[in-house]
Structures are given as C-alpha cells and as structure tokens.
C-alpha cells in the first residue's frame, strides 16, 4: 500500500515539475526574448503591481531592462507578455495595428470596462465609434463650443476655491472636469438633494481599484472597483431609458441624443451595450487622466518658479494684446500658447499616467532576432521611452524648453503619452484645451502656495495618496501688482 502511495506521490511531483518547467519555458517557433515567467498562474503580477514612489522608470521595468535588455518576456495576471521599451519596436507595433497586432487588455480590464468597450473593438466598429466621439470632442466642436465652456467652468471654480482655506487639487479638478463632461455627454448635473444619484461617487469607487491586484473578494480594491462600475452602469442605463421615453426635446445636442438617433437608424451597427460601455469609458477617461495631469502640472510649476514665470508672461501677454481686456479666450489665442504647449508636453512626459499600452499578436512575428508567438500580449512601456537618457538629457528634470523647435501633432517614436498609431487618443485635443485654459485662468488671476500633500505613488499608475492641497488667492491688480513684482525681483 505504501509503495502505491509513493508511486502516486512521485507521479504528482513529476507532473508538477513538468508543469512548472513548461510554464517557465514556453514553446516558441523561434527565439523568445529573455526574461522570467515567474510562478505558475501568478507570474510576476505581484511585482508589477508593487507600489513605488519613484518618478523614474518603474522598478519592475528598470530592473528587467538592466538584466535582459529593452525587450523581455514575463507573465501578468495569468497571461504571457512581451514587454517592449524599444522605441523602434513600439513604433512598429503601433503601425501594424489590425495587420500583425490588435488592441488587447487583460481579461480583468475587460471585466472592468465592459466586454464591448472601445479598447476591445477592432476594424470598422472601432473607426465608427471613434467618429462618434470626434463629433463631440473633435477640433470643430472644441473651437466653436467647448473652449468657452471650459473657460467659464475654470473661472467659476477658481473663484470659488479662492474663498476656501485650501483646496485638494486632484479632487477639485476631477469634480470640475466631470461636471463639464457629464453635462456635455448626458446632460447630467449632480443634485445634492438626491444623494443616491451621485454618478461621480461611483466612478471614484471604480478608480480606486482600477489598477490593483485583480482579486475579486469582498473588501478588496478590485471588488469595490467592480461594484462602482456596476452602479455607474445602472445609472447610465436608467438615464438612457428615461431619455428614450421623453418626447422629442433638446438637450443641447448631448451625446445621449446622438446615440439615440444612431440606435433608431435602420441597419445600425450600434447597440445599447456598446453605447453604454462607450459612455462609461468616456466619462472615466475625460476626468480622471486630465485631473491627474493638471495636478501634476501645478505641483511641477510650484517647484519651478522660472517655468511659472515664463508661463505667466505668455498668458499676460495675451491679455495685453486684446482690444477688450475682459473678452473671452479665442481659438487664435489658444493656438498662440506655444510655451504652454511645451509645459503640457513636458508634464505628460514626466507624469506617465498610462504605464503600459497593450496589444496582442495575430500571428508569429519575427523582430530584431526574437519571435513574438501568436496570441501573446505585448506591452509597450511609455515611461521607459519618455525617461530614456539617450533621448532626453537629464530625463527626470522638468524642462519645458527641451521641446523648443519640436512639433508634436501626434505620437512619435519617443513620445507616446497619448498612445500611437490609429488608436492615438481621440480626446488628446480636449485634454490639451482643458489644461491650457485652466492654466490661463489660474496664472492670470491667481497665485497659490502648496500647503500639504503632494506625494506621488505609482501602482503602477500615478496617484496622489494624500492629495495635493494648495491655498489659492486672488492677485491684486494694477499698481499694487506691479509694485509687488518689483519688490519680489
């Protein structure tokens, strides 16, 4: 009997050893990039999600780049992944969208953003949805409608914040942007009397667990993330149903109106599920990433007075050039903000809000002596590109002047803060307008000082765990302000 037990035990041990060996040495019709697959199933997921406070290339990536080079293999959330910090390979991946690669995100992200989210759709459907979004957030809409609305919102909020003892900037700007975007998308305005209908609260719960270890157990950040999504989606679905039952009426031409028109068309390819997932992603992307970028920009400007000085001079020059000093920002003035654009580019280069961009190989691909097997995930790593010392001198320094003479109308091999290829972020122009207009309203009318918080943590996405608290005060005008500047100089 004991010999039978020993034999069974030996077989089990051999099977486990074989399984572990196969896991760590995956099959490939060629040569895989070097690297480690970590533990079976778990891979190196824990190391990838480990919090760090560095502004440099994430330790997970940096350590493996030193060991294996700019291209290496690993395993995250149960999937084999090729990580690329090589600008040439990254560019190739983006250019081959739909041919050799397609957009892909881990199953956990798909569960969070929805099976029909825009990041998981391909080909004609993706282009169709992209055009839907551009109708609302494209250049024409920005120029004619959104620019004045963004300025009005920024001025109103800044005037309010200046009356407060201090303001937590990340939360405050997120609320500001969400209010504007939700109004444009779904004509939603938060009513404090209906506390159960606070749509943004559900998004906040969603965000806290978005980039966390995907353990769906009650009490975990990931579980709360899924709960937040579920509640937000229910609210969006209820809103859409209410809008359907309303008689034909104007809502300022919001996105719900446009979606309902599309759903009514004969032979439409749009479904309610796709429309709701798209709405969810747009609401999330529009306020979370932009509020992080604005907060990070103000933190950097606070620490770099020379940059703030030149930025302020550019915006004060805009005011002085006007016939009517009280007139509103024009599109021509916005396009003249050359130094502001450099500040924005430098901010998003350093912020690295998106730590990884995922694709999936559609067939075996040979590149630079390595093979990317069919079906493997590929993670393009923007921080490794943006903080590359061979491209950016003193890469951790906040130096907007490094962008002098550089035209950035899209992505490049060395700059991919907004993605790349045919999936270059459709909200890029809207984000830049919001950042530029907010900075204009802030530096021309107010001054501020940091009073607390400001620490950053990456898990691996950027966050401000203790917020960033600033005290905002209105600038004095005329002679007083000139005297103050002379005294300071």
Query: Does the annotation place 425 within a ligand binding site?
Result: yes
- Alpha-carbon separation of residue 162 from 302, 319, 449, 467 (angstroms): 17, 21, 12, 18
SS3 of the chain: the string is CHHHHHHHHHHHHHHHHHHHHHHHCCCCCCCCCCECCCECCCECHHHHHCCECCCCCCHHHHHHHHHHCCEEEEEECCEEEEEECCHHHHHHHHHCECCCEEECCCHHHHHHHCCCCHHHCCHHHHHHHHHHHHHHHCHHHHHHHHHHHHHHHHHHHHHHHCCCCCEEHHHHHHHHHHHHHHHHHHCCCCCCCCHHHCHHHHHHHHHHCCCCCCCCCCCCHHHHHHHHHHHHHHHHHHHHHHHHHCCCCCCCCCHHHHHHHHHHCCCCCCCHHHHHHHHHHHHHHHHHHHHHHHHHHHHHHHHCHHHHHHHHHHHHHHHHCCCCCCCCCCHHHHHCCHHHHHHHHHHHHHHCCCCCEEEEECCCEEECCEEECCCCEEEECHHHHHCCCCCCCCCCCCCHHHHCCCCCCCCECCECCCCCHHHCCCCHHHHHHHHHHHHHHHHHHEEEEEEEECCCEECCCEECCCCEEEEEEECCCHHHHHHHHHHHC
**Does residue 155 contact residue 148 with C-beta atoms inside 8 Å?**
no
CA–CA separation, 418 vs 337, rounded Å?
A: 20
- Rg of the chain's alpha carbons, rounded to an integer? 25
Contact 161, 171 (CB under 8 A): no
Q: Which residues of 181-219 are buried (b: 16+ CB within 10 A; e: fewer)?
A: bbbbbbbbebeeeeeeeebbebbbbbbebbbbbbeeeee
Q: Long-range contacts for 408-412 (Cβ within 8 Å, ≥24 apart)?
A: 408/341, 408/345, 411/94
Q: Checking DSSP bridges between strand 370-372 and strand 462-463, what pairing results, if any?
A: unpaired
- Which residues does the annotation place in the binding site? 425
- Which residues does the annotation place in the binding site for heme? 425
């Amino acid at each position: 009997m004991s010999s039978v037990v020993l034999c069974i035990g030996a077989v089990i041990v051999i099977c486990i050893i074989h399984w572990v060996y196969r896991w760590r040495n995956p099959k490939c019709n060629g040569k895989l990039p070097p690297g480690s697959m970590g533990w079976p199933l778990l891979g190196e997921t824990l190391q990838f999600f480990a919090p760090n406070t560095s502004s440099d290339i994430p330790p997970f990536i940096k350590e493996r780049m030193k060991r294996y080079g700019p291209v290496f293999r690993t395993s995250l959330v149960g999937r084999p992944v090729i990580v690329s910090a090589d600008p040439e390979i990254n560019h190739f991946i983006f250019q081959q969208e739909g041919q050799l690669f397609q957009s892909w995100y881990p199953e956990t992200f798909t569960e969070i953003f929805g099976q029909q989210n825009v990041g998981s759709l391909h080909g004609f459907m993706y282009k169709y949805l992209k055009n839907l979004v551009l109708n609302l957030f494209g250049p024409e809409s920005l120029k004619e409608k959104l620019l004045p609305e963004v300025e009005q919102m920024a001025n109103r909020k800044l005037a309010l914040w200046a009356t407060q003892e201090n303001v937590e900037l990340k939360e405050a700007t997120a609320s500001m942007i969400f209010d504007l975007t939700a109004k444009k998308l779904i004509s939603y305005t938060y009513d404090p009397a209906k506390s159960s209908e606070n749509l943004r609260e559900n998004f906040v719960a969603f965000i806290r667990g978005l980039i966390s270890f995907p353990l769906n157990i009650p009490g975990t950040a990931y579980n709360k993330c899924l709960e937040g999504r579920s509640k937000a989606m229910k609210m969006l679905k209820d809103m859409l149903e209410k809008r359907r039952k309303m008689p034909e009426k104007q809502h300022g031409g919001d996105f719900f109106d446009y979606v309902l028109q599309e759903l009514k068309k004969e032979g439409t390819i749009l479904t309610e599920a796709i429309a709701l997932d798209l709405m969810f992603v747009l609401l999330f992307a529009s306020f979370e990433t932009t509020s992080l970028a604005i907060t990070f920009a103000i933190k950097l400007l606070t620490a770099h007075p020379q940059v703030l000085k030149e930025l302020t001079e550019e915006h004060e020059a805009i005011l002085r050039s006007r016939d009517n000093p009280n007139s509103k920002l024009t599109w021509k003035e916005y396009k003249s903000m050359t130094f502001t654009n450099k500040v924005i580019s430098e901010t998003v280069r350093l912020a690295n809000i998106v730590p990884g961009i995922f694709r999936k190989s559609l067939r075996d691909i040979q590149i630079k002596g390595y093979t990317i097997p069919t079906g493997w995930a590929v993670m393009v790593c923007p921080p490794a590109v943006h903080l590359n010392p061979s491209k950016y001198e003193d890469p951790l320094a906040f130096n907007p002047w490094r962008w002098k003479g550089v035209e950035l109308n899209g992505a490049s091999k060395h700059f991919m803060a907004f993605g790349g290829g045919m999936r270059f972020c459709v909200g890029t122009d809207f984000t830049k307008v919001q950042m530029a207009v907010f900075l204009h309203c802030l530096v021309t009318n107010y001054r501020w000082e940091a009073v607390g918080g400001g620490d950053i943590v990456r898990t691996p996405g950027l966050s401000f765990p203790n917020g960033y608290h600033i005290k905002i005060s209105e600038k004095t005008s005329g002679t007083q302000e000139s005297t103050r500047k002379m005294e300071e100089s």
